A and B are shown apart, each in its own frame.
Chain A
Amino acid sequence: MSLRVTKPIVDVAQKLAELDRPVGNHGSQLMKSASGAESFSLVGAGRKNMIINGQMFINQRYGSSSYEIPNATGGTYALDRWAVNEATGGTVSVNKDGDPRNHAVVSEFQKAMQIACSGSDTSMGSTENLHFFQNIEGQNMSHLAWGTSIAKDVTLSFWVKTNKAGTYCVGLENNATNRCCIREFTHDGSHTWQKFVLTYPGCPDGTWEVGASCGIRVRFCLASGTNYDDGVDGKWVSSDELTTGNQVNFMDSTNNRFFITGVQLEEGTVATPFEHRSYGDEMLKCNRYYWTPIGTLELAMWAHGVADTSGIRIQAYPWPVEMRASPSLTYYDASSGGNLNKVYIQHPDKTAHTNISVTFEPNAQGTDGGFKYPYGISGFSDGQTGLCVPYRLTVSAEL
Protein backbone atom coordinates (compact mmCIF):
# COMPACT_ATOMS: atom_id res chain seq x y z
CA MET A 1 0.00 0.00 0.00
CA SER A 2 1.29 3.35 -0.95
CA LEU A 3 0.42 6.64 0.68
CA ARG A 4 0.44 9.79 -1.43
CA VAL A 5 0.93 13.01 0.46
CA THR A 6 0.46 16.41 -1.16
CA LYS A 7 1.19 19.79 0.26
CA PRO A 8 0.26 23.27 -0.92
CA ILE A 9 2.76 24.87 -3.18
CA VAL A 10 4.23 27.84 -1.40
CA ASP A 11 6.39 30.24 -3.30
CA VAL A 12 8.59 31.42 -0.51
CA ALA A 13 10.26 34.01 -2.67
CA GLN A 14 6.88 35.57 -3.55
CA LYS A 15 5.79 35.66 0.06
CA LEU A 16 8.96 37.44 1.04
CA ALA A 17 8.45 39.95 -1.75
CA GLU A 18 4.95 40.70 -0.47
CA LEU A 19 6.39 41.56 2.90
CA ASP A 20 8.47 44.23 1.23
CA ARG A 21 5.54 45.71 -0.70
CA PRO A 22 5.03 49.32 0.44
CA VAL A 23 1.51 49.75 1.76
CA GLY A 24 2.04 52.79 4.03
CA ASN A 25 0.68 53.22 7.50
CA HIS A 26 -2.85 53.84 6.34
CA GLY A 27 -2.69 50.80 4.09
CA SER A 28 -1.61 48.65 6.99
CA GLN A 29 -4.52 49.97 9.04
CA LEU A 30 -6.93 49.19 6.23
CA MET A 31 -5.56 45.65 5.89
CA LYS A 32 -6.00 45.12 9.60
CA SER A 33 -9.48 46.67 9.81
CA ALA A 34 -11.92 44.20 11.31
CA SER A 35 -15.05 45.35 9.52
CA GLY A 36 -16.37 47.24 6.56
CA ALA A 37 -17.48 50.01 8.87
CA GLU A 38 -13.97 50.40 10.20
CA SER A 39 -12.53 50.50 6.68
CA PHE A 40 -15.11 53.12 5.69
CA SER A 41 -14.18 55.23 8.67
CA LEU A 42 -10.46 54.95 7.88
CA VAL A 43 -10.99 56.10 4.31
CA GLY A 44 -13.08 59.04 5.48
CA ALA A 45 -15.48 58.59 2.61
CA GLY A 46 -18.96 60.02 2.15
CA ARG A 47 -20.49 63.23 3.39
CA LYS A 48 -18.45 64.20 6.40
CA ASN A 49 -18.26 67.98 6.76
CA MET A 50 -20.83 69.26 9.24
CA ILE A 51 -19.94 72.87 8.39
CA ILE A 52 -21.99 74.48 5.59
CA ASN A 53 -20.28 77.02 3.32
CA GLY A 54 -16.91 76.15 4.84
CA GLN A 55 -15.27 77.23 1.60
CA MET A 56 -16.90 80.67 2.03
CA PHE A 57 -18.13 80.96 -1.54
CA ILE A 58 -21.80 81.75 -0.89
CA ASN A 59 -22.89 85.19 0.26
CA GLN A 60 -26.54 85.69 -0.66
CA ARG A 61 -26.93 88.78 1.48
CA TYR A 62 -24.05 90.96 0.26
CA GLY A 63 -22.41 89.23 -2.71
CA SER A 64 -18.89 90.62 -3.04
CA SER A 65 -19.65 93.80 -1.13
CA SER A 66 -18.07 94.57 2.20
CA TYR A 67 -20.48 94.84 5.09
CA GLU A 68 -19.89 96.58 8.44
CA ILE A 69 -21.21 94.43 11.23
CA PRO A 70 -23.53 96.36 13.58
CA ASN A 71 -22.50 96.44 17.20
CA ALA A 72 -24.78 93.90 18.83
CA THR A 73 -24.73 90.69 20.77
CA GLY A 74 -26.30 87.59 19.28
CA GLY A 75 -24.60 87.72 15.91
CA THR A 76 -25.29 89.26 12.52
CA TYR A 77 -25.16 87.09 9.42
CA ALA A 78 -22.83 88.11 6.63
CA LEU A 79 -21.61 85.19 4.47
CA ASP A 80 -24.15 82.38 4.43
CA ARG A 81 -24.33 80.38 7.66
CA TRP A 82 -21.60 82.53 9.28
CA ALA A 83 -22.63 85.09 11.87
CA VAL A 84 -20.37 87.68 13.44
CA ASN A 85 -20.84 88.87 17.00
CA GLU A 86 -19.24 92.30 17.28
CA ALA A 87 -19.63 93.60 20.82
CA THR A 88 -16.54 95.74 21.30
CA GLY A 89 -15.73 99.42 21.29
CA GLY A 90 -14.46 99.12 17.73
CA THR A 91 -15.92 98.11 14.39
CA VAL A 92 -15.30 95.37 11.84
CA SER A 93 -16.31 94.82 8.26
CA VAL A 94 -16.71 91.46 6.53
CA ASN A 95 -16.49 90.43 2.92
CA LYS A 96 -16.20 87.41 0.65
CA ASP A 97 -12.66 87.67 -0.66
CA GLY A 98 -10.89 86.08 -3.62
CA ASP A 99 -7.46 85.96 -1.96
CA PRO A 100 -7.08 82.14 -1.85
CA ARG A 101 -6.83 81.92 -5.64
CA ASN A 102 -3.58 83.88 -5.45
CA HIS A 103 -1.84 81.36 -3.21
CA ALA A 104 -1.02 77.82 -4.30
CA VAL A 105 -1.47 76.25 -0.86
CA VAL A 106 -5.12 77.28 -0.70
CA SER A 107 -5.89 77.55 -4.39
CA GLU A 108 -8.37 74.67 -4.07
CA PHE A 109 -10.68 77.27 -2.51
CA GLN A 110 -12.28 80.06 -4.50
CA LYS A 111 -13.03 82.36 -1.63
CA ALA A 112 -12.31 83.23 1.96
CA MET A 113 -14.12 85.27 4.57
CA GLN A 114 -12.15 88.38 5.44
CA ILE A 115 -12.72 90.21 8.70
CA ALA A 116 -11.12 93.65 8.78
CA CYS A 117 -10.75 95.79 11.87
CA SER A 118 -12.14 99.16 10.76
CA GLY A 119 -12.29 100.75 14.20
CA SER A 120 -9.91 99.69 16.95
CA ASP A 121 -10.45 98.85 20.61
CA THR A 122 -7.12 98.38 22.38
CA SER A 123 -8.60 97.22 25.67
CA MET A 124 -11.50 94.79 25.90
CA GLY A 125 -14.03 95.45 28.64
CA SER A 126 -14.94 92.38 30.68
CA THR A 127 -18.00 91.50 28.59
CA GLU A 128 -16.72 92.79 25.25
CA ASN A 129 -15.83 90.31 22.54
CA LEU A 130 -15.56 89.71 18.83
CA HIS A 131 -16.23 86.24 17.49
CA PHE A 132 -17.78 84.60 14.47
CA PHE A 133 -19.71 81.37 14.57
CA GLN A 134 -21.77 78.78 12.80
CA ASN A 135 -24.69 76.99 14.42
CA ILE A 136 -24.89 73.38 13.30
CA GLU A 137 -28.41 71.99 13.30
CA GLY A 138 -28.93 69.20 15.83
CA GLN A 139 -30.12 66.78 13.17
CA ASN A 140 -26.76 67.13 11.43
CA MET A 141 -24.64 66.20 14.45
CA SER A 142 -26.81 63.67 16.29
CA HIS A 143 -24.61 60.84 14.97
CA LEU A 144 -21.86 62.04 17.30
CA ALA A 145 -23.88 60.74 20.27
CA TRP A 146 -22.80 63.65 22.41
CA GLY A 147 -24.22 63.65 25.89
CA THR A 148 -23.69 59.87 26.10
CA SER A 149 -20.85 57.60 27.18
CA ILE A 150 -20.04 56.77 23.56
CA ALA A 151 -19.63 60.39 22.45
CA LYS A 152 -17.37 60.53 19.39
CA ASP A 153 -14.37 62.81 18.96
CA VAL A 154 -14.43 65.43 16.23
CA THR A 155 -11.74 67.24 14.27
CA LEU A 156 -11.91 70.82 13.04
CA SER A 157 -9.58 71.87 10.24
CA PHE A 158 -9.29 75.25 8.54
CA TRP A 159 -6.91 77.69 6.84
CA VAL A 160 -6.14 81.11 8.27
CA LYS A 161 -4.17 84.10 6.98
CA THR A 162 -3.64 87.06 9.26
CA ASN A 163 -1.16 89.80 10.01
CA LYS A 164 -2.07 89.77 13.71
CA ALA A 165 0.20 87.29 15.46
CA GLY A 166 -0.95 85.49 18.56
CA THR A 167 -3.05 82.74 20.05
CA TYR A 168 -6.64 82.43 18.91
CA CYS A 169 -9.35 80.22 20.42
CA VAL A 170 -12.02 78.09 18.78
CA GLY A 171 -14.79 76.59 20.88
CA LEU A 172 -17.56 74.06 20.49
CA GLU A 173 -20.63 74.71 22.61
CA ASN A 174 -24.11 73.31 23.15
CA ASN A 175 -27.31 75.28 22.66
CA ALA A 176 -27.86 75.63 26.40
CA THR A 177 -24.40 77.28 26.64
CA ASN A 178 -23.46 75.11 29.62
CA ARG A 179 -21.00 72.78 27.88
CA CYS A 180 -18.02 74.23 26.09
CA CYS A 181 -14.62 73.01 24.89
CA ILE A 182 -11.97 75.46 23.70
CA ARG A 183 -8.91 74.69 21.58
CA GLU A 184 -6.12 77.14 20.87
CA PHE A 185 -4.15 77.78 17.70
CA THR A 186 -1.31 80.22 17.12
CA HIS A 187 -0.63 82.14 13.94
CA ASP A 188 2.74 83.86 13.49
CA GLY A 189 1.21 86.96 11.93
CA SER A 190 3.23 86.59 8.74
CA HIS A 191 0.10 87.22 6.67
CA THR A 192 0.48 83.84 5.00
CA TRP A 193 -2.00 80.99 4.73
CA GLN A 194 -1.49 78.35 7.42
CA LYS A 195 -3.55 75.23 8.09
CA PHE A 196 -4.71 74.34 11.58
CA VAL A 197 -6.14 71.05 12.83
CA LEU A 198 -7.87 70.90 16.20
CA THR A 199 -9.29 67.73 17.71
CA TYR A 200 -12.01 67.84 20.34
CA PRO A 201 -12.99 64.98 22.63
CA GLY A 202 -16.63 63.91 22.39
CA CYS A 203 -18.72 65.45 25.15
CA PRO A 204 -20.10 62.66 27.35
CA ASP A 205 -22.68 64.70 29.24
CA GLY A 206 -24.88 67.75 29.03
CA THR A 207 -27.88 68.33 26.79
CA TRP A 208 -27.23 68.35 23.05
CA GLU A 209 -30.13 69.20 20.74
CA VAL A 210 -30.70 66.60 18.04
CA GLY A 211 -33.71 68.21 16.32
CA ALA A 212 -34.11 71.39 14.28
CA SER A 213 -32.51 73.55 16.97
CA CYS A 214 -28.81 74.35 17.33
CA GLY A 215 -26.80 71.22 18.06
CA ILE A 216 -23.24 72.56 18.14
CA ARG A 217 -22.15 76.17 17.99
CA VAL A 218 -18.65 76.50 16.48
CA ARG A 219 -17.13 79.79 17.64
CA PHE A 220 -13.92 81.40 16.43
CA CYS A 221 -12.86 84.11 18.84
CA LEU A 222 -10.85 87.14 17.74
CA ALA A 223 -11.02 89.17 20.94
CA SER A 224 -12.61 88.76 24.35
CA GLY A 225 -12.89 90.32 27.78
CA THR A 226 -12.33 88.43 31.00
CA ASN A 227 -15.92 87.27 31.44
CA TYR A 228 -15.48 84.52 28.87
CA ASP A 229 -11.87 83.42 29.35
CA ASP A 230 -12.24 80.46 31.72
CA GLY A 231 -12.00 77.83 29.01
CA VAL A 232 -9.41 75.04 29.32
CA ASP A 233 -7.61 73.93 26.17
CA GLY A 234 -9.04 70.58 25.09
CA LYS A 235 -11.28 70.11 28.14
CA TRP A 236 -15.03 70.38 28.51
CA VAL A 237 -16.23 72.95 31.04
CA SER A 238 -19.76 73.62 32.27
CA SER A 239 -19.92 77.33 31.49
CA ASP A 240 -20.19 79.72 28.56
CA GLU A 241 -16.63 80.50 27.48
CA LEU A 242 -14.99 81.96 24.39
CA THR A 243 -11.31 81.67 25.26
CA THR A 244 -8.69 80.15 27.52
CA GLY A 245 -7.29 83.46 28.65
CA ASN A 246 -4.51 83.38 26.06
CA GLN A 247 -6.63 85.03 23.37
CA VAL A 248 -4.96 87.79 21.36
CA ASN A 249 -6.79 91.09 20.84
CA PHE A 250 -7.38 91.29 17.10
CA MET A 251 -9.15 94.64 17.60
CA ASP A 252 -6.08 96.59 18.68
CA SER A 253 -5.31 98.10 15.26
CA THR A 254 -7.20 99.06 12.15
CA ASN A 255 -4.41 97.40 10.17
CA ASN A 256 -5.49 93.95 11.35
CA ARG A 257 -6.92 91.50 8.86
CA PHE A 258 -8.13 87.91 9.34
CA PHE A 259 -8.92 85.56 6.44
CA ILE A 260 -10.36 82.08 6.87
CA THR A 261 -11.48 79.33 4.50
CA GLY A 262 -11.69 75.55 4.15
CA VAL A 263 -13.47 75.05 7.47
CA GLN A 264 -14.35 71.42 8.05
CA LEU A 265 -15.74 69.69 11.14
CA GLU A 266 -15.80 65.93 10.92
CA GLU A 267 -16.13 62.87 13.10
CA GLY A 268 -12.90 61.28 14.28
CA THR A 269 -9.42 62.39 15.21
CA VAL A 270 -8.03 62.82 11.72
CA ALA A 271 -8.42 65.82 9.43
CA THR A 272 -9.20 64.35 6.04
CA PRO A 273 -9.04 66.40 2.83
CA PHE A 274 -11.69 69.10 2.53
CA GLU A 275 -15.00 67.84 1.20
CA HIS A 276 -15.69 69.90 -1.88
CA ARG A 277 -19.41 69.91 -2.55
CA SER A 278 -20.81 71.46 -5.72
CA TYR A 279 -21.95 75.08 -5.66
CA GLY A 280 -25.53 73.94 -6.27
CA ASP A 281 -25.42 71.46 -3.39
CA GLU A 282 -23.97 74.04 -1.06
CA MET A 283 -26.48 76.70 -2.10
CA LEU A 284 -29.38 74.36 -1.33
CA LYS A 285 -27.86 73.63 2.06
CA CYS A 286 -27.70 77.36 2.71
CA ASN A 287 -31.27 77.81 1.45
CA ARG A 288 -32.56 75.68 4.31
CA TYR A 289 -31.64 78.64 6.54
CA TYR A 290 -31.81 81.69 4.29
CA TRP A 291 -33.12 82.48 0.85
CA THR A 292 -33.57 85.55 -1.31
CA PRO A 293 -34.67 85.53 -4.96
CA ILE A 294 -32.10 86.80 -7.44
CA GLY A 295 -34.74 88.74 -9.34
CA THR A 296 -38.07 90.22 -8.34
CA LEU A 297 -40.81 87.91 -7.16
CA GLU A 298 -44.02 88.91 -8.95
CA LEU A 299 -47.02 87.11 -7.52
CA ALA A 300 -50.32 86.79 -9.32
CA MET A 301 -53.38 87.54 -7.25
CA TRP A 302 -57.03 87.20 -8.01
CA ALA A 303 -60.47 87.61 -6.50
CA HIS A 304 -62.15 84.24 -6.40
CA GLY A 305 -65.53 85.10 -4.96
CA VAL A 306 -65.29 82.92 -1.90
CA ALA A 307 -66.57 84.57 1.21
CA ASP A 308 -63.32 84.83 3.06
CA THR A 309 -60.38 87.18 3.26
CA SER A 310 -62.18 89.70 1.05
CA GLY A 311 -62.08 87.05 -1.66
CA ILE A 312 -58.42 87.57 -2.50
CA ARG A 313 -56.04 84.73 -3.19
CA ILE A 314 -52.43 84.96 -4.08
CA GLN A 315 -50.01 82.75 -5.94
CA ALA A 316 -48.36 80.34 -3.55
CA TYR A 317 -44.62 80.21 -3.90
CA PRO A 318 -42.49 77.26 -2.75
CA TRP A 319 -39.13 77.82 -1.10
CA PRO A 320 -36.22 76.16 -2.96
CA VAL A 321 -35.93 73.57 -0.18
CA GLU A 322 -37.82 72.76 2.97
CA MET A 323 -36.68 75.35 5.46
CA ARG A 324 -35.52 74.57 8.96
CA ALA A 325 -38.49 76.42 10.49
CA SER A 326 -41.26 78.67 9.30
CA PRO A 327 -39.16 81.66 8.24
CA SER A 328 -39.13 85.35 9.07
CA LEU A 329 -39.65 87.66 6.08
CA THR A 330 -38.59 91.12 5.00
CA TYR A 331 -39.74 92.91 1.86
CA TYR A 332 -40.28 96.38 0.43
CA ASP A 333 -42.78 98.09 -1.86
CA ALA A 334 -40.10 99.29 -4.29
CA SER A 335 -37.01 97.90 -6.00
CA SER A 336 -34.87 100.47 -4.21
CA GLY A 337 -35.69 102.56 -1.18
CA GLY A 338 -39.37 102.15 -0.38
CA ASN A 339 -41.17 101.10 2.76
CA LEU A 340 -40.04 98.09 4.78
CA ASN A 341 -42.52 95.24 5.15
CA LYS A 342 -45.01 96.81 2.74
CA VAL A 343 -45.88 95.48 -0.70
CA TYR A 344 -46.54 96.89 -4.13
CA ILE A 345 -49.97 96.01 -5.50
CA GLN A 346 -51.11 96.46 -9.08
CA HIS A 347 -54.90 96.62 -9.13
CA PRO A 348 -57.05 95.16 -11.92
CA ASP A 349 -57.27 98.63 -13.49
CA LYS A 350 -53.43 98.59 -13.75
CA THR A 351 -53.07 101.33 -11.14
CA ALA A 352 -50.06 100.95 -8.84
CA HIS A 353 -50.47 101.07 -5.09
CA THR A 354 -47.55 101.21 -2.69
CA ASN A 355 -47.11 101.22 1.08
CA ILE A 356 -49.70 98.44 1.34
CA SER A 357 -49.78 96.46 4.58
CA VAL A 358 -50.79 92.85 4.16
CA THR A 359 -50.82 89.86 6.44
CA PHE A 360 -49.49 86.89 4.53
CA GLU A 361 -50.43 83.40 5.50
CA PRO A 362 -47.64 80.83 5.21
CA ASN A 363 -48.27 77.67 3.24
CA ALA A 364 -48.94 74.55 5.24
CA GLN A 365 -46.32 74.54 7.98
CA GLY A 366 -44.54 77.48 6.42
CA THR A 367 -41.39 75.48 5.83
CA ASP A 368 -42.45 74.51 2.30
CA GLY A 369 -43.39 77.89 0.90
CA GLY A 370 -45.24 81.10 1.47
CA PHE A 371 -47.95 83.55 0.53
CA LYS A 372 -51.24 81.76 0.57
CA TYR A 373 -53.73 84.49 1.50
CA PRO A 374 -53.05 88.17 1.87
CA TYR A 375 -55.28 89.94 4.38
CA GLY A 376 -55.91 93.63 4.10
CA ILE A 377 -56.15 94.18 0.34
CA SER A 378 -59.13 95.90 -1.24
CA GLY A 379 -60.00 97.11 -4.72
CA PHE A 380 -60.66 93.73 -6.34
CA SER A 381 -63.99 92.43 -7.62
CA ASP A 382 -64.82 88.78 -8.24
CA GLY A 383 -62.81 87.37 -11.15
CA GLN A 384 -60.38 90.27 -11.40
CA THR A 385 -56.65 89.72 -11.32
CA GLY A 386 -53.72 91.81 -10.19
CA LEU A 387 -50.14 91.65 -9.11
CA CYS A 388 -48.44 91.63 -5.71
CA VAL A 389 -44.73 92.35 -5.50
CA PRO A 390 -42.76 91.97 -2.29
CA TYR A 391 -39.56 93.60 -3.55
CA ARG A 392 -36.16 92.49 -2.19
CA LEU A 393 -37.73 89.61 -0.31
CA THR A 394 -35.60 87.80 2.26
CA VAL A 395 -36.65 84.55 3.88
CA SER A 396 -34.76 83.55 7.01
CA ALA A 397 -34.89 80.52 9.29
CA GLU A 398 -31.41 80.85 10.74
CA LEU A 399 -30.54 79.12 13.97
Chain B
Amino acid sequence: MAIKYKIQKNPFDESKDLIEKIGECIIPRDPDNGDYQQFLQDAKSIGIATCVEGPTVGVTTEYKEARAAEYPPLGEQLDKIYHSGVDAWKVDIKAIKDKYPKSQVGVTTVAPVPSWVQTEVDKLNS
Protein backbone atom coordinates (compact mmCIF):
# COMPACT_ATOMS: atom_id res chain seq x y z
CA MET B 1 0.00 0.00 0.00
CA ALA B 2 1.49 3.32 -1.11
CA ILE B 3 1.36 6.46 0.99
CA LYS B 4 -2.05 8.06 0.47
CA TYR B 5 -1.77 11.14 2.66
CA LYS B 6 0.89 13.70 3.51
CA ILE B 7 0.68 16.17 6.36
CA GLN B 8 1.20 19.86 5.54
CA LYS B 9 2.41 21.47 8.74
CA ASN B 10 1.12 24.82 9.94
CA PRO B 11 4.11 26.06 11.95
CA PHE B 12 2.05 28.13 14.35
CA ASP B 13 -1.18 26.28 14.93
CA GLU B 14 -1.33 22.51 14.80
CA SER B 15 -5.10 22.59 14.59
CA LYS B 16 -4.69 24.22 11.18
CA ASP B 17 -2.43 21.53 9.74
CA LEU B 18 -3.65 20.37 6.35
CA ILE B 19 -3.63 16.87 4.88
CA GLU B 20 -2.78 16.34 1.23
CA LYS B 21 -4.50 13.33 -0.26
CA ILE B 22 -1.82 12.42 -2.78
CA GLY B 23 -3.04 13.00 -6.30
CA GLU B 24 -6.40 14.31 -5.15
CA CYS B 25 -7.00 17.22 -2.79
CA ILE B 26 -5.96 19.29 0.20
CA ILE B 27 -8.00 18.49 3.29
CA PRO B 28 -8.56 20.67 6.38
CA ARG B 29 -8.79 19.32 9.92
CA ASP B 30 -12.54 19.67 10.15
CA PRO B 31 -14.55 16.79 11.66
CA ASP B 32 -17.47 17.66 9.33
CA ASN B 33 -15.34 17.42 6.19
CA GLY B 34 -16.05 14.12 4.44
CA ASP B 35 -12.47 13.77 3.15
CA TYR B 36 -11.12 14.30 6.66
CA GLN B 37 -13.46 11.63 7.99
CA GLN B 38 -12.19 9.26 5.28
CA PHE B 39 -8.57 10.16 6.15
CA LEU B 40 -9.11 9.08 9.75
CA GLN B 41 -10.90 5.91 8.66
CA ASP B 42 -8.02 5.03 6.31
CA ALA B 43 -5.43 5.80 9.00
CA LYS B 44 -7.33 3.46 11.29
CA SER B 45 -7.93 0.61 8.85
CA ILE B 46 -4.69 0.74 6.85
CA GLY B 47 -2.40 2.03 9.59
CA ILE B 48 -0.81 5.43 10.08
CA ALA B 49 2.69 4.17 9.34
CA THR B 50 1.51 2.65 6.09
CA CYS B 51 -0.60 5.38 4.59
CA VAL B 52 0.43 8.70 6.18
CA GLU B 53 3.66 10.62 5.68
CA GLY B 54 4.82 13.44 7.94
CA PRO B 55 5.39 17.02 6.77
CA THR B 56 8.36 18.02 4.69
CA VAL B 57 10.56 20.18 6.89
CA GLY B 58 13.49 20.82 4.61
CA VAL B 59 14.36 20.56 0.97
CA THR B 60 17.86 20.79 -0.42
CA THR B 61 17.70 21.45 -4.12
CA GLU B 62 20.07 19.69 -6.49
CA TYR B 63 22.88 22.04 -7.57
CA LYS B 64 21.64 22.35 -11.17
CA GLU B 65 18.20 23.56 -10.14
CA ALA B 66 19.58 25.81 -7.40
CA ARG B 67 22.04 27.49 -9.77
CA ALA B 68 19.46 27.90 -12.54
CA ALA B 69 17.04 29.58 -10.17
CA GLU B 70 19.67 32.09 -9.07
CA TYR B 71 21.34 33.00 -12.34
CA PRO B 72 20.21 36.45 -13.50
CA PRO B 73 18.02 36.64 -16.62
CA LEU B 74 20.01 36.34 -19.86
CA GLY B 75 19.40 39.98 -20.77
CA GLU B 76 20.88 41.14 -17.50
CA GLN B 77 23.92 38.93 -17.99
CA LEU B 78 24.57 40.36 -21.46
CA ASP B 79 24.15 43.84 -20.08
CA LYS B 80 26.68 43.06 -17.37
CA ILE B 81 29.21 41.85 -19.97
CA TYR B 82 28.65 44.91 -22.16
CA HIS B 83 29.06 47.39 -19.34
CA SER B 84 31.55 45.64 -17.04
CA GLY B 85 33.31 43.06 -19.15
CA VAL B 86 33.48 39.28 -19.14
CA ASP B 87 35.65 39.03 -16.03
CA ALA B 88 33.13 40.94 -13.92
CA TRP B 89 30.37 38.73 -15.25
CA LYS B 90 32.43 35.64 -14.38
CA VAL B 91 32.80 36.83 -10.81
CA ASP B 92 29.03 37.03 -10.42
CA ILE B 93 28.44 33.62 -11.98
CA LYS B 94 31.25 31.97 -10.00
CA ALA B 95 29.72 33.20 -6.78
CA ILE B 96 26.55 31.28 -7.60
CA LYS B 97 28.46 28.19 -8.68
CA ASP B 98 30.47 28.23 -5.45
CA LYS B 99 27.30 28.68 -3.44
CA TYR B 100 25.86 25.49 -4.93
CA PRO B 101 28.74 23.03 -5.52
CA LYS B 102 28.26 19.98 -7.70
CA SER B 103 28.38 17.82 -4.60
CA GLN B 104 24.97 19.24 -3.60
CA VAL B 105 22.29 16.65 -4.23
CA GLY B 106 18.55 16.97 -3.82
CA VAL B 107 17.40 15.90 -0.38
CA THR B 108 13.92 16.11 1.14
CA THR B 109 13.69 15.86 4.94
CA VAL B 110 10.43 14.51 6.27
CA ALA B 111 9.36 14.87 9.91
CA PRO B 112 7.46 12.18 11.79
CA VAL B 113 3.68 12.11 11.52
CA PRO B 114 2.42 14.53 14.19
CA SER B 115 0.93 12.97 17.29
CA TRP B 116 -2.53 14.47 16.75
CA VAL B 117 -3.14 11.94 13.99
CA GLN B 118 -2.81 9.04 16.43
CA THR B 119 -4.94 10.91 18.98
CA GLU B 120 -7.75 11.42 16.47
CA VAL B 121 -7.58 7.80 15.29
CA ASP B 122 -7.76 6.65 18.90
CA LYS B 123 -10.97 8.64 19.29
CA LEU B 124 -12.46 6.57 16.48
CA ASN B 125 -11.56 3.42 18.34
CA SER B 126 -13.07 4.56 21.63
A interface with B by C-beta (< 8 Å): 212-213, 308-309, 324-331, 340-341, 351, 357, 359-362, 366, 375, 394, 396-399
Which of the residues A325, A357, A361, A362 comes within 8 Å of B32, measured between beta carbons? A325
Q: Knowing A309-B12, A328-B26, say if A360 contacts B32 (CB, 8 Å).
A: no
Contact B23 A340 (CB under 8 A): yes
B interface with A by C-beta (< 8 Å): 8-13, 16, 18, 20-21, 23-30, 32-36, 56, 73
What are the residues of chain B within 8 A of A360 when measuring CB–CB? 18, 26
- A330 and B22 CA atoms in complex are apart in Å by 11
Q: A327-B33, A328-B26 provided; 9 other pairs, C-beta below 8 A?
A: A326-B33, A328-B34, A328-B35, A329-B26, A361-B10, A362-B16, A396-B25, A396-B35, A398-B34
Which of the residues B8, B12, B26, B33 comes within 8 Å of A397, measured between beta carbons? B33
What are the residues of chain A within 8 A of B24 when measuring CB–CB? 330, 340
20 chain-A/chain-B pairs, Cβ below 8 angstroms? A212-B32, A308-B12, A324-B32, A325-B30, A325-B32, A325-B34, A326-B32, A328-B25, A328-B28, A330-B24, A340-B23, A341-B26, A357-B56, A359-B8, A361-B10, A362-B16, A366-B30, A375-B9, A375-B10, A399-B34
- A361 and B17 CA atoms in complex are apart in Å by 8
Q: Knowing A328-B27, A360-B26, A362-B16, say if A213 contacts B10 (CB, 8 Å).
A: no
What are the residues of chain B within 8 A of A325 when measuring CB–CB? 30, 32-34
What are the residues of chain B within 8 A of A366 when measuring CB–CB? 28, 30
Contact B11 A309 (CB under 8 A): yes
Contact B25 A361 (CB under 8 A): no
Contact A327 B32 (CB under 8 A): no
- A331 and B25 CA atoms in complex are apart in Å by 8
- 6 closest residue pairs by CB, A with B: A325-B32, A326-B30, A326-B28, A359-B8, A328-B25, A329-B26
* Chain B: CB-nearest residue to A340: B23
- A308 and B12 CA atoms in complex are apart in Å by 9
- Kindly name the residue among B8, B16, B24, B34 whose own CB sees the greatest number of chain A CB atoms within 10 A: B34
- A331 and B24 CA atoms in complex are apart in Å by 10
Least distance between A395 CB and chain B CB atoms (Å) = 10
What are the residues of chain A within 8 A of B56 when measuring CB–CB? 357
Contact A359 B30 (CB under 8 A): no
What are the residues of chain B within 8 A of A331 when measuring CB–CB? 26
- A341 and B10 CA atoms in complex are apart in Å by 16
- A329 and B36 CA atoms in complex are apart in Å by 12
* Chain B: CB-nearest residue to A135: B34
Q: Knowing A328-B33, A375-B11, say if A341 contacts B16 (CB, 8 Å).
A: no
What are the residues of chain A within 8 A of B11 when measuring CB–CB? 309, 375
Least distance between B40 CB and chain A CB atoms (Å) = 14
Contact A330 B25 (CB under 8 A): yes
Least distance between B74 CB and chain A CB atoms (Å) = 12
Least distance between A17 CB and chain B CB atoms (Å) = 62
* Chain A: CB-nearest residue to B28: A326
What are the residues of chain A within 8 A of B26 when measuring CB–CB? 328-331, 341, 360
Least distance between A251 CB and chain B CB atoms (Å) = 26
* Chain B: CB-nearest residue to A74: B38
- A366 and B33 CA atoms in complex are apart in Å by 11
Least distance between B24 CB and chain A CB atoms (Å) = 7
- A398 and B36 CA atoms in complex are apart in Å by 12
Contact B33 A341 (CB under 8 A): no
Least distance between A88 CB and chain B CB atoms (Å) = 22
- A345 and B20 CA atoms in complex are apart in Å by 20
* Chain B: CB-nearest residue to A398: B34
